[in-house]
Amino acid sequence: MKNTRRLCSSKPIVTINGKFPGPTLYAREDDTVLVKVVNRVKHNVSIHWHGVRQLRTGWADGPAYITQCPIQPGQSYVYNFTITGQRGTLLWHAHVNWLRATVHGALVILPKRGVPYPFPKPDDELVVVLGEWWKSDTEAVINEALKSGLAPNVSDAHTINGLPGTVANCSTQDVFNLPIESGKTYLLRIINAALNEELFFKIAGHNLTIVEVDATYIKPFNIDTIVIAPGQTTNALLTAHQKSGKYLLTASPFMDAPVAVDNLTATATLHYTGTLSTSPTILTTPPPKNATQIANHFIDSLKSLNSPKYPAKVPFKIDHSLFFTVGLGVNPCPSCKAGNGSRVVASVNNVTFVMPNTALLQAHYFNTPGVFTTDFPGNPPHVFNYSGSPPKNLQTQSGTKLYRVGYNETVQVVMQDTGIIAPENHPVHLHGFNFFVVGRGVGNYDPNKDPNKFNLVDPVERNTVGVPSGGWTAIRFRADNPGVWFMHCHLEVHTTWGLKMAFLVDNGKGPKESLIPPPKDLPKC
């Protein structure tokens, strides 16, 4: 624990090696990475290497009660995995309760030695981690909300590399300063590590060239505003084309839900070195709250960089065609006084996922009965057709249900935001795979017409994708990684409410197609 001061008050926070945000980890494509995590706090801990595929090494993936039991106080665990065929910017974060509020950092994977980037070599590289800050203890915030059945408090500030900027009078020293030199080009590795907020990121007086998202290269394009959801990463080239001065960087929330009240913009400064620091900061206007058009323009511009070196392997023939409704619902809760006897829940196909008491991957590997079932529905219980008036019964059923897929089978998932309680953008993250985003639309998905418009040529490949407010997103992937793989909304509040499920991918026939045996120090529940 480390006492940390922001917004005029201090609180003890859980950190890795005393740092907030945590240390940046550097590796190269195809490196084997060993990280020993020693738990010196009173909380359970587990670390997820967000976006690392973990081919056959699900034991090192990290989500508590999914692939491992958490590391208990006083215990340790060595994460051991190989970064196969991936390079770019990812992140690592705690994956138990709301601990990732303070336990997160960058994971930078450089290309293999001697392999250049597919864009002009930058003069320098900079990591920009976006986050959120609560004045109170985040575990208390969510526990209180679960008791009352109501939505948890929103954060007190957003942060850029751990600092909120000039949001409060007392925080004027808490501003991240990025020194740059005129004429040089920088690769910004931008990470959204916030718990619950999609963010707009922009720099006054400068455009950005986007070259990579979620550690996959894309066709470069120029833009002035980036939209980035929790769990997503974006690499952008910044050319220092101005001569001098200070320019404002902003990270401001993209609030598409009518109930959201978290409107604070984090600021940082870009400072041309060698020029007067007293020169005026050139301001930028953050996008308006519901700048859906700006977001759509950014998202629609993302196309994978296809080349013989980076071929897109979009599955054409689909073995499992799934339709998932994702959204919020209401369940009875007699003890929830504040919520008038009911509580907010979230679900996929009306199933609110219940965390088991032991890890699913172990239960699968050792054939422990009674931990999970494999009857996760591939379709919602009622044909989904939202016309604006919410259905009477918003209740969901609870269960630890997995969807089973054979090794190397192909999967298409169309995810539809129900918009029943509130239309909200859900950034859905899949562990163990990258997927192709083949389609996206507003309103109800039409299974007869929409597939004709799918992009099977150069769809962007990612690990986290937004299901738009009141709309849908279609993804495809090949299940070439055996194990138990979590899929969930990366807005932590929605995960807590149950917007999560898991895929169970069988072993293949060959020894190279099977899960490796569990490591000896794998934590016990």
Residue ranges that bind ligand C2O, judged by CB under 6 A: 48, 50, 63, 93, 95, 231, 429, 431, 486, 488, 490
In the complex with ligand C2O, the residue whose CB is nearer, 51 or 327, is 51
In the complex with ligand C2O, the residue whose CB is nearer, 162 or 231, is 231
In the complex with ligand C2O, the residue whose CB is nearer, 63 or 419, is 63
The least CB distance from residue 430 to ligand C2O, in Å, is: 9
Nearest to 98 by CA among 129, 51, 131: 131
Q: Over the Cα atoms of the chain, what is R_g?
A: 22
Please report, as a single letter, which amino acid is at residue 517.
Answer: P
Q: Are 453 and 329 spatial neighbours (Cβ–Cβ below 8 Å)? A: no
The residues pairing with 321 across neighbouring beta strands, listed in sequence order, are 412
The three state secondary structure string of 65-121 is CCCECCECCCCEEEEEEECCCCCEEEEEEECCCCHHHCCEEEEEEECCCCCCCCCCC
The residue of the chain with the least Cβ separation from ligand C2O equals: 50
The least CB distance from residue 178 to ligand C2O, in Å, is: 25
The least CB distance from residue 469 to ligand C2O, in Å, is: 21
The least CB distance from residue 372 to ligand C2O, in Å, is: 17
Going by DSSP bridges, is the β-strand pair 208-213/216-223 parallel, antiparallel, or unpaired?
antiparallel
The least CB distance from residue 27 to ligand C2O, in Å, is: 18
In the complex with ligand C2O, the residue whose CB is nearer, 490 or 494, is 490
- Return d(Cα 221, Cα 202) in angstroms, integer: 15
The least CB distance from residue 48 to ligand C2O, in Å, is: 5
In the complex with ligand C2O, the residue whose CB is nearer, 202 or 488, is 488
- Return d(Cα 484, Cα 63) in angstroms, integer: 10
Q: Which residues contact 425 (CB under 8 A, 6 or more apart)?
A: 198, 229, 254, 256, 295, 417, 466, 467, 468, 469
Q: Are 458 and 487 spatial neighbours (Cβ–Cβ below 8 Å)? A: no
Q: Are 158 and 168 spatial neighbours (Cβ–Cβ below 8 Å)? A: no
Q: Are 1 and 12 spatial neighbours (Cβ–Cβ below 8 Å)? A: yes
Q: DSSP letters of 123-135? A: SEEEEEEEEEE-S
In the complex with ligand C2O, the residue whose CB is nearer, 232 or 410, is 232
Q: Are 310 and 217 spatial neighbours (Cβ–Cβ below 8 Å)? A: yes
In the complex with ligand C2O, the residue whose CB is nearer, 230 or 245, is 230
The least CB distance from residue 191 to ligand C2O, in Å, is: 11
The least CB distance from residue 401 to ligand C2O, in Å, is: 17
Nearest to 208 by CA among 184, 240, 162: 240
In the complex with ligand C2O, the residue whose CB is nearer, 53 or 202, is 53
In the complex with ligand C2O, the residue whose CB is nearer, 33 or 150, is 33
- Return d(Cα 80, Cα 74) in angstroms, integer: 20
The least CB distance from residue 138 to ligand C2O, in Å, is: 16
